[in-house]
Amino acid sequence: MKVLVCVKQTFDTEAKIELKDGKISDAGINLIINPYDEVAVEGAIQLKEKGIASEVVVVSAGSDKAMDAIRTALAMGADRGILIKQDTGADEYARAVAIAEVIRSEDPNLVLAGHVAADDGSSQVPTRIAEILGWPHINVITSLEIADGKVRCSSEADGGSQVTEVKLPAVISCQVSWNEPRYPSMKGIMQAKKKPVATVDAVAVENKTRIIEYFLPQAKQAGVKVEGEPEECAAKLADFIKNTAKIEVKA
């Protein structure tokens, strides 16, 4: 069975986001493999270790920098990579179209991905891919089993969990709690360079969305400190609520 894993290169989750000329600046930012995708890679490698998967292919769409994410996945134990060269301004639709095109030609039995990217958090690409391919899709999974051409997953549901089974091929997106991704080993890192990575151009499609503006969350304002005797404080607070915060108090 062939497993294809979609990975995205994202900002380090501790990176300080800054805007430059109305765009998010990546100057001096540490790029990492999206932590959710790292879990998907780990899941795929475990399927291979269990003898269920025979090949693990990692796919990333983006600039040359996305090669790092692919190499990390190869160092963890994936077999080969495909870099889809695509403009960094591509939206979720264009990304999904490009990746689905590669999936069609690779023809895997299972597609895995993180359910969300730690940077833009849009949670759209795996679902869109499933839609384009017309494949079944299970989202935010926390466990996965494969038997008789089917995949059965537990996934998070509001306040609980649900078990879903679909036929393969399918697109599955995972939650971070599915597993604990391994560190790439020293040998894994040395071997990663020798593993094949193909580079393809993305199919040209127009974005369906346009980002109008980026802005940073407002800096937290310092709080107001009320000092004095309890009665004084209570009076000041009541005044603040009524006159400054303008909260209407209904009897």
Partner 1 sequence: MDFRLTEEQEMMKRMAREFADNEIAPYAQEWDKNNIFPEETVKKMHELGLMTIGVPAEYGGPGLDHVAQNIVTEEIARGDAGIATTMAASTLLAADPVLIAGTHEQKKWFYGMQNEGAIAAFCLTEPEAGSDVANLSTRCIKDGDYYILNGTKQFISNGGVAQLYVVFATLDKKLGHKGICAFMVDRNTPGVSVGPKEDKLGIRSSNTTQVIFEDVRVPAKNLLGKEGEGFKIAMKTLDLSRASVAAMAVGVAQAAMEASIKYAKERKQFGKPIASFQAIQFMLADMAQYIHAARLLYLEASSRQDMGLPFTQIASLAKCFAGDVAMKVATDAVQIFGGYGYTKEYPVEKYFRDAKIMQIFEGTAQVQRLVIARDLLRD
3-class secondary structure, 103: helix
Nearest to partner 1 of 70, 94 (CB atom): 70
Residue partners of 173: CB distance under 8 A and separation at least 6: 40, 112, 113, 114, 115, 126, 127, 137, 138, 139, 140, 141
Nearest to partner 1 of 186, 247 (CB atom): 186
Nearest to partner 1 of 108, 184 (CB atom): 184
How many whole angstroms separate alpha carbon 76 and alpha carbon 203?
Answer: 29
CB 117 within 8 A of CB 150: no
Contact residues: partner 1, CB under 8 A: 71-72, 75, 183-190, 192-193
Shortest gap between Cβ of 189 and partner 1 (angstroms)? 5
| Dihedral sign (CA 195, 110, 126, 90) | positive
Shortest gap between Cβ of 185 and partner 1 (angstroms)? 5
Shortest gap between Cβ of 138 and partner 1 (angstroms)? 30
How many whole angstroms separate alpha carbon 31 and alpha carbon 65?
Answer: 8
Give backbone dihedrals phi and psi of 44, rounded to 5 degrees, phi first. -65, -40
Shortest gap between Cβ of 86 and partner 1 (angstroms)? 22
Shortest gap between Cβ of 30 and partner 1 (angstroms)? 9
Going by C-alpha positions, the residue among 66, 51, 69 that lies closest to residue 3 is 51
Shortest gap between Cβ of 10 and partner 1 (angstroms)? 15
Going by C-alpha positions, the residue among 133, 90, 140 that lies closest to residue 112 is 140
Nearest to partner 1 of 42, 92 (CB atom): 42
